[in-house]
Amino acid sequence: MRENTLPRLMYAAGPRPLSLAQHEEVFASPRSAGSLLEELEASGLTGRGGAAFPTARKARLIREQRGHNKFVVVNAMEGEPASHKDLTLLSTHPHLVLDGAEYLASIVGAQNIAVCVARDNPTVVNHVERALHERTRRSLRGPKLEMHTPPWRYVAGEESALVHWLDDNESLPQFRPTRPHVLRIGHAPVIVDNAETCANMGLIGRYGAAWFRGVGTANSPGSALVSVTGAVERPTVLEVALGTPLRVILKSASADPDPQALLLGGYGGSWLEGSHLDLGYCNEALAPQGVSTGAGVIVVLPRSACGIVETLRVVRWMANESARQCGPCAFGLPAIAEDLNHLAHPSRDPLSAHKQLEERLGQIDGHGACRHPDGVVRFVRSALVTFAEDFSRHANGLACAGSRANVHYLSVPHLEREEELIWE
């Protein structure tokens, strides 16, 4: 393994997943001499699934819990439609993810590892099953490794919903008024980390914290996988050192070099005006603009597109994907979509619709049973700022340049109840 060079997570990636023997040959350096928990804490690794929670803090919390049947849950559900990180990682380096899961199990004292991949992605399921079979044949020691295939839905990948499914076969988020909060399968404490976080743990376990911090920034060490879609030659997954300027990432992805805006973090993330391309791709650089790296998604929106229409399409889908276990999800999100529809395609007083939308966002924010509606509110509020000029034109009955275009840049899966969500 070449020290402090990229790609790290994607080192020696080829068209097929590395076998266990190939994996151990490629990542052959001895494990760091320090304790795993000390190395994890020194590394500064944060979760790559969206919340950016310190992984060591989460591991220490579960380590301190009583119980002999703790679980490590590898979340490879990839609920974000614009994300292809898990698919790429598990299609190249499944054993690096499993290494990290085993290191985490050693830290927290877990006897069980549950690897969760959506059943709707049979190719990735097959890759992981083959990797698990290879490890089982090698040794029966260590934690028990099991494959689980929940159904794919946006909320099914939320960590509490995933644990709920493992515990009770229901993909519903659990109410958590405070975080960190110990999730459980039965009475057993659970640590949930997404596939990319586990793969980084696999590297830290082998090469140590100092090596890991050899790229990135002081506050955001390491590298990250980024799914780049939208106005690009073709959707791609890049590995970048955290802190890399957005402009450099777009160039590497053969994306529109002069976009109207970028959507960062996924469909629960935020829009960023295209004038900020010199910002570094890390949370400390993005925070002043109200944006974060989130789930590692960048959607490039060209100047020919309508940000209002694109936002509406996503909000409709997010309303359909809600858990519907509280008022903000069941009624609030469809209402937000209807308000946006009146702004995108004025059928009544657009100024009144704009005011009603602002009021509704305030009523919903922070009042859901889970964080799903909060993500939609954040997404819409960022659109109101980023596309303020377009909103103004629509409010005055003047459609923007892209509002009647048939080309869309944000991937939105088929709606199960699409007829309920079409108002035009």
pLDDT > 70? residue 176: no
pLDDT tens digit sequence for 60-107: 999 999 877 899 999 999 988 999 999 999 999 999 999 999 999 999
Give the residue, 395 or 296, on which the prediction is more confident: 296
pLDDT tens digit sequence for 229-260: 999 999 999 999 999 999 999 999 999 999 99
pLDDT at position 295 is 92
The answer to whether the beta carbons of residues 197 and 45 sit under 8 Å apart is yes
What gap in Å lies between CA 79 and CA 289, rounded to an integer? Answer: 25
Domain 20-212: state its class.
alpha beta
Q: Is 237 helix (H, G, I), strand (E, B) or coil?
A: strand
The answer to whether the beta carbons of residues 17 and 250 sit under 8 Å apart is no
- DSSP code for 423: -
Cα four-point dihedral sign 393, 394, 398, 401:
positive
pLDDT tens digit sequence for 286-339: 999 999 999 999 999 999 999 999 999 999 999 988 777 788 788 889 999 998
- For 316, phi and psi rounded to 5 degrees? -55, -45
What gap in Å lies between CA 199 and CA 33, rounded to an integer? Answer: 19
The answer to whether the beta carbons of residues 288 and 44 sit under 8 Å apart is no
Model confidence band, residue 179 (pLDDT cutoffs 50, 70, 90): low
Domain 307-421 falls in which CATH fold?
Answer: de novo design (two linked rop proteins) (1.20.1440)
User: Which spans in 44-168 are helix H?
Assistant: 55-63, 85-90, 94-108, 122-138, 159-168
Structure tokens at 219: 């506050």
Structure tokens at 46: 């944060």
- For residue 285, which amino acid is it? A
Mean pLDDT value of segment 55-61: 96
Structure tokens at 155: 């909320």
pLDDT > 80? residue 405: no
Model confidence band, residue 136 (pLDDT cutoffs 50, 70, 90): confident
Structure tokens at 346: 């004025």
Q: Please, what is the Cα angle at 281 between 358 and 234, to 5 degrees?
A: 90
Domain 223-301 falls in which CATH fold?
Answer: Ubiquitin-like (UB roll) (3.10.20)
The structure tokens 């266990």 sit at 20
Fold agreement between 223-301 and 307-421: no
What gap in Å lies between CA 222 and CA 296, rounded to an integer? Answer: 14
Please state the domain extents for the chain.
20-212, 223-301, 307-421
pLDDT > 50? residue 417: no
263 exposure class (CB count in 10 Å sphere: 0-12, 13-18, 19+): buried
As a whole number of angstroms, the longest Cα–Cα distance in the chain is: 69
pLDDT tens digit sequence for 143-168: 999 999 999 888 888 888 899 999 98
- For residue 351, which amino acid is it? L
